Amino acid sequence: MRRAINRLGIKPGLASGDFDLIAQGGFGDGLNAYAHSMAWFNGHLYVATTRGNFPLARKRLPISMDVWPVECPEDPFALDLQAEIWRYRPGKEGWERVFKAPMIVGSDGKLITRELGLRGMLVYQPTADAVPELYVATWSPAKGPGPVLLRSVDGRNFEPSCEPGLIGLPVTAIRTLVQFKGRLFTTPAGSRGGNPNVSAHSIVYESRNPAQGKWEPVSDFGFGAAGNLSVFEMVGFGDYLYVGTFNLEGFQIWRSTVEGTPPYQWEKVIDRGAYRGPLNQIAISMQPFKGALYVGSGIQGGGVDTQNKIGPAPPELIRIFPDGSWDLLVGEARDTPDGRKEPLSGYLPGFDNYFCGYFWRMCEHDGWLYMGTFEWSALLGYANRSKWPRPFTEVVNQVDAQQILDNQSGFSLYRSHDGANWVPVTTNGMSNPYNIGLRTLVSTPHGLFIGTANPFGPKIIPLKGSRYRHNPRGGCEVFLASGLKGNK
């Protein structure tokens, strides 16, 4: 049996065997591809989905596939793409669907879903005695009116709390939601034309009364730098609100005490992707942990930005201290204006995995920092190889895509007790190669919940297969680790 705590006071972290699969197959509907956001609210776990990611990607993104892994109709809106919210109460059997996006008339006069996906979720409680409210950030179809923040007090009824596009902005998605100093902060994340990550409107918005939908800008456009294409991620740490950007020259990190009169004073903390440059394109995840702010990077498109011809390249992890100094934790050793940086973990980018695309989400749970990744090797067997570099094609052919799928594919989950030394929890998507990403992690009194990105449902064409068939492990999955189990 594993010890509860060792003599140095360290309680061991979770292992893969500690997790139970509590939802699979996209809650019974394989089109629920991404468990895209998650929160613990009023004794329930809430999970919101994005649906039909492959069909949407085929329509909108320059991704070249020989065969798409799942059926992708010419018009993805022929599918049911109405995003859903599900909830789960520990100790009770089963899941309850509490929200399904309504159908509306799109700008072309056809019926479309109002929300394709729900990318962010937050319990907002500005003061200890305030009634907590659940906010959900939405992703609107390009022909829809624009994204909103859904609000719920009872966990069953979700209503838009603001006008489409937050304040009528011409954007399509909102992703990040942060409560800080009693206020709610957010920013647009995507725009029309197949740009789920580029808003062309990189401004931080603040609300002291989000229920009334009152929002005001509190930063300059892109913090004065045209290269900041989106404000991608935000988090409060110490006395500052930290903001990470999407920038083709490498992400930037800015911070502000958000005091005084808006627009607030902002200070740049990290530039040019911590001096790695374009390969650290987006500050994709941010999490405070034991006195430092951890920042994971990524390149849009799962690590290969075909639009901007950046990558493939695996991501890095850095940490920033309150005084602005920083460490490279996972990544490539380099000389920087801040001195020589060696990866303190001993890991190369992507935790030594060339196919890791993002360090996607982090979460602190029971004294450990957990990091979930996105890993794209499951797509190798389906991708069109004609534009690949020849050596790459030959290597993949020789290793064999089925071998890769069987032995390597699937997200990784790592954990660290000190932020510098990282332990693999799983490196194969919890034994499901179709779980290509770990998108959500939530620490609750009942344990650690994790939700996956798994667009390989409801039917899949197996590698070297000739027809689509039901994929029992396709569609997003949710796991719960209530505590340490055995000795694995």
Partner 1 sequence: MAAPLFLLAPPRSYTSLMNAMLGQHPQAFGLPELCLFNVKVLKDLWVRETDEMENFSKTRHGLYRAVAEIYTGEQTSSTVTMAAHWCAMRQNWSTADIYRELAAQIHPLIPVEKSPAYTISVKRMQAMLEAFPDARFIHLTRDPIGQCKSVMNMNEGAFALYVNSIDFLPDRAIIEPQLCWHDLNLNIMEFLKTVPQEQQMRVRGEDIMNEPKTGLAAVCRWLGIRDDEEAIEQMMHPERSPFACFGPVNALFGNDPNFLSGPTFRPHKVEFAPMDKPVPWRTDGKGLRPEVISLARELGYGSDAERAGSSMPSSRGRIGPIDGDPVTTHPDLDALTPEQIAFRDALLYEFKAKKVKLFVNEQVDYIAPDDFEELAENAIDFLFDEHGRPPANAPIEDIIEEARKCEYADRWLEALLVQLRKRRDLLTDREGQALERLISAPAKDLAIPARQALTGASQGALANAAKQEYRETLENVVVFQFSSKKLRKFVEKHVTNIHMNVMIAQGAKAVFDESTIPPPDADLATVIGERRRMTHIVEWFEGAQAQIRAGLIELREIESQALDYVRQGYLHAAEKKSKSK
Q: Write out the residues near partner 1 by the rule CB under 8 A.
A: 2-3, 5-8, 10-13, 15, 314, 342-354, 389, 391-392, 394-396, 398-400, 403, 407-408, 417-418, 421-425, 487-488
Nearest CB to partner 1, comparing residues 281 and 416: 416
- Nearest distance from C-beta of residue 248 to partner 1, angstroms: 20
Please list, in sequence order, all residues whose beta carbon lies within 8 angstroms of the beta carbon of residue 431, skipping any fewer than 6 positions away: 16, 410
Radius of gyration for the chain, computed over Cα atoms and rounded to the nearest angstrom = 21
Identity of residue 240: Y
- Nearest distance from C-beta of residue 69 to partner 1, angstroms: 22
- Nearest distance from C-beta of residue 298 to partner 1, angstroms: 17
Tell me which H or E stretch contains 69.
none
**Lookup: tokens for 219:** 């930063």
- Nearest distance from C-beta of residue 1 to partner 1, angstroms: 9
Nearest to 139 by CA among 216, 180, 65, 82: 82
Q: 123-129: list long-range contacts, CB under 8 Å, 24+ apart.
A: 123/39, 123/40, 123/41, 124/177, 124/179, 124/184, 124/210, 125/179, 126/179, 126/182, 126/183, 126/184, 127/182
SS3 319: strand
- Nearest distance from C-beta of residue 67 to partner 1, angstroms: 23
Nearest CB to partner 1, comparing residues 82 and 409: 409
Nearest CB to partner 1, comparing residues 171 and 404: 404
- Nearest distance from C-beta of residue 371 to partner 1, angstroms: 13
CA 235 to chain centre: 14
Q: In 331-476, where do the E strands start and end?
A: 334-336, 339-341, 356-365, 368-375, 413-416, 422-426, 437-444, 447-453, 459-460, 469-470
SS3 205: strand
Nearest CB to partner 1, comparing residues 123 and 399: 399
Nearest CB to partner 1, comparing residues 75 and 418: 418
- Nearest distance from C-beta of residue 115 to partner 1, angstroms: 38
Nearest CB to partner 1, comparing residues 118 and 484: 484
Nearest CB to partner 1, comparing residues 224 and 346: 346
